[in-house]
Amino acid sequence: MTSEKTLRAVLVGTGAVANAHARAVDAYPRAELVAVADLSHEKAREFASRYGIAAAYDDLDAMLAEERPDVVLVCTPPGPHRAQTLAAFASGAHVIVEKPPAPSLDELDDMRAAAAAADRELAVVFQQRTGTAAAHVRALLQSGALGRPLVAMCQTLWFRDAEYFAVPWRGRWETEGGGTTLGHGIHQLDLLAHLLGDWASVQGRLWRLDRETETEDASTATILFEQGAVAQVITSAVSPRETSSIRIDTQKATVTVDHLYGHGHDDWRITPAPGFEAEAEGWGFPESEERSDHEPLLRDVFDALLDGRPLPPTADAPARSLELVAAIYASAAADGAVITPSDLARHPTHRAGFESPVTDLRR
């Protein structure tokens, strides 16, 4: 039975991604965005008037005290995520936080501990887990219908020019926390792990190929998953023909998705191995299609919150892909050594931040 309660939502950080949140709340009948906050009061006011939101603040604490929301949408850059999430839990609200959930694993640990102590949910926005195609492929993989996953490729080949990196906070460890692996590759790494599950080891290297950055503009990694599949991962900010893609070869099929910032059924393909063509007739995508987006993610989280159910798999496990990213940086710091989850759990520095040596290949 679904309750008739309506969620009072507030949003902090009225920048670019906040628009996707406002649209997603708008599309959901049982939630209302009652207020927004931003460091810039003017930006908050402008955003509120654009979406017909009743109140605009320049201070999160004041907004929490005044509005007593059920849920806080955290849309600020990663730096303030921890403090804002803790404040939201202290006020009794649930939190939906944008990727990356925190600039370090230690900070994310604090956020998860605060969620548990407050008995509230911490949902993370990796919207590329959503969409009917990803759900379908995940179910096929998890049921064993495609046989055992064997080998995978995960590519984030994006193009960010010199001007993009000229913004003072970009490309620097202190202000961005990481390079293209943390900022861009994390989406595809997250989808890969959503499909293949827990990881067993990571080896990685960081490269500076062309851009004027302190962080990496490319990285390469090998990930071994617990269930036995091995994945090659390449992430780049210097690739003119851009693509985000995943390929998984199983005992019975090759699954691919090729897209850029979001995917629908046409972006996915399941190719049967010789001899499995007849079986493949049962692998067809469902008739009704929903693309990956913020809207299905927020809808499914809101449904779970209203019904008192656990978070959906599209928004739970906030640490998994951040751990993969951290492990790539930790491995690079040890000249490509193998990093396991237990290495990462007690790593002397890489739970606190990701700064690592980058091999400079610029000419």
Binding site for ligand NAD (CB under 6 A): 12-18, 37-40, 43, 75-78, 80, 98-99, 125, 127
Is the CB of 17 or the CB of 273 nearer to ligand NAD?
17
CB atoms within 10 A of CB 151: 13
By beta-carbon proximity to ligand NAD, the closer residue of 69 and 149 is: 69
| Cβ proximity to ligand NAD, 7 vs 298, nearer residue | 298
Least distance between ligand NAD and beta carbon 18 (Å): 6
Tell me whether residue 40 or residue 340 sits nearer to ligand NAD (CB atom). Answer: 40
Q: At closest approach, how far in Å is the CB of 171 from ligand NAD?
A: 15
When CB distances to ligand NAD are compared, the closest residue is 15
Q: Are 55 and 48 in contact (CB under 8 A)?
A: yes
- How far does the chain reach from its first CA to its final CA, in angstroms? 64
Task: Give the shortest CB-59-to-ligand NAD separation in angstroms.
Answer: 8
Q: Which two tokens stand for residue 313?
A: 């798999």
Q: Which is nearer to ligand NAD, 77 or 341 (CB)?
A: 77
3-state secondary structure of 353: coil
Q: Say if residues 85 and 22 touch (Cβ distance below 8 Å).
A: no
Structure tokens given for 270? 């399941």
Please state the closest distance from residue 125 (CB atom) to ligand NAD, in A. 5
Nearest approach, Cβ of residue 278 and ligand NAD (Å)? 39
Pairing of strands 94-98, 71-74: parallel
Query: Are residues 126 and 97 in contact, defined by beta-carbon separation less than 8 angstroms?
Result: no
183 or 204: whose CB is closer to ligand NAD? 183
Q: At what angle do helices 132-143 and 186-196 cross, to 10 degrees?
A: 40
Minimal distance, residue 41 CB to ligand NAD, in Å:
10
Shortest CB 158 distance to ligand NAD, Å: 12
What SS3 state is found at 171? Answer: coil
**Identity of the residue, 60 or 328, whose beta carbon is nearer to ligand NAD in the bound complex:** 60
Q: How far apart are the C-alpha atoms of 332 and 358, rounded to whole Å?
A: 8
Nearer to ligand NAD, 56 or 137 (CB): 56
Under DSSP, the state recorded for 91 is: T
Least distance between ligand NAD and beta carbon 39 (Å):
4
Strand boundaries in the chain, DSSP class E:
7-12, 31-37, 55-57, 71-74, 94-98, 122-125, 149-159, 199-208, 218-225, 230-236, 238-250, 253-259, 268-272, 359-360
Q: How far is residue 233's CA from residue 211's CA, in Å, rounded to a whole number?
A: 20
Q: Give rounded-to-5 percent helix, strand, coil for the chain.
A: 40, 25, 35
